[in-house]
């Protein structure tokens, strides 16, 4: 019998079975409880790190990642 972590879930989207897309964490960095907390943290870091005129560039990058997740992926919590 396989361990829980070794089992690959079967996901169906629009009636078609799709492959699960895995992501490897970056061990040097932490995570947050959910995407909204991670987004809020990124926004706060950007706002503290640069002046208001430059913050838009960092926020644009974060929003592009957010929109890509929102438009291209079905997110299912692991835990």
30-76 residue pLDDT tens: 999 999 999 999 999 999 999 989 999 999 999 999 999 999 888 88
5-34 pLDDT tens trace: 566 778 888 899 988 888 889 999 999 999
* DSSP three-state, residue 17: strand
Please, is 59 exposed, middle or buried when counting C-beta atoms within 10 Å of its C-beta (0-12, 13-18, 19+)?
middle
Within a domain: 4: no
Within a domain: 13: no
Within a domain: 59: yes
* pLDDT-derived band at 4, boundaries 50, 70, 90: low
Within a domain: 35: yes
Expressed as residue numbers, the domain containing 50 is: 25-79
Alpha helices in 1-79 (DSSP H): 35-49, 52-72
Asked if residue 67 lies in contact with residue 73, where contact means CB atoms within 8 angstroms, the answer is no
Rounded to two decimals, the pTM is: 0.69
């Amino acid at each position: 019998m396989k361990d829980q972590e070794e089992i690959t879930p079967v996901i169906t989207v629009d009636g078609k079975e799709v492959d699960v897309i895995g992501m490897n964490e970056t061990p040097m960095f932490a995570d947050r409880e959910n995407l909204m907390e991670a987004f809020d943290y990124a926004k706060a870091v950007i706002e503290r790190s640069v002046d208001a005129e430059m913050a838009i560039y960092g926020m644009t990058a974060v929003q592009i990642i957010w929109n890509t997740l929102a438009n291209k992926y079905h997110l299912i919590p692991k835990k």
